[in-house]
Structure 1
């Protein structure tokens, strides 16, 4: 299916909304990836945001609602396995050509997020104590 056929099948507006969901998802991922480098207010946002993400993953059995929403808007089927849906895998392969086992995507996502969370908490502790 070509990009033109995809747009015709799902509609221009629906694709633009899916693009907006993708952009929001990307901004959240970038914040989690690099928010720990920011000032104190950014660390607080990082901690709150990541705690929310962990709760969300627990409720959704590690499936991401933003990825599901984007897939729904584009009329793409949900993969059978979690490793096949990783947003991080999509970014690393699509943007940088870094090819790895897609099953590693959720582990990379959670590992990096938890490391960034810990660094943020340590930086906040050092700031206040």
Structure 2
């Protein structure tokens, strides 16, 4: 009869392991991509803001350059419901053009252009570049 407590403890341990089940890592979520084209003579710091959220810096784009920026995490999660607004803060300039809300989902790709006048950001859906 002395072995009953250890047998009961072993049975409880086996039951707990069986009930816990297998845990799998969450599947990675593809980011939304923003191809940001800066046609100005100013460096642009690019921010993404989900509706009611805090602006998050997503990258810096040099003058007359194009860069692909990834949006993920809480900015992207809130972007499907209320939209994501892209803002460019220009170095040595007071202007901060914005896009207005854009509905973004994982895997989406948009082209955002900051023209030489630096007064507006234009947005169009963008297709991925063909692979060689």
Give the TM-score band, short-chain normalised: under 0.3
Provide the TM-score with structure 1 as the length reference: 0.26
For the pair shown, the structure with the greater C-alpha radius of gyration is 2
Hey, which of these two has a bigger chunk of strand by percent?
A: 2
Structure with more relative contact order (C-alpha pairs < 8 Å, separation 6 or more): 1
Provide the TM-score with structure 2 as the length reference: 0.25
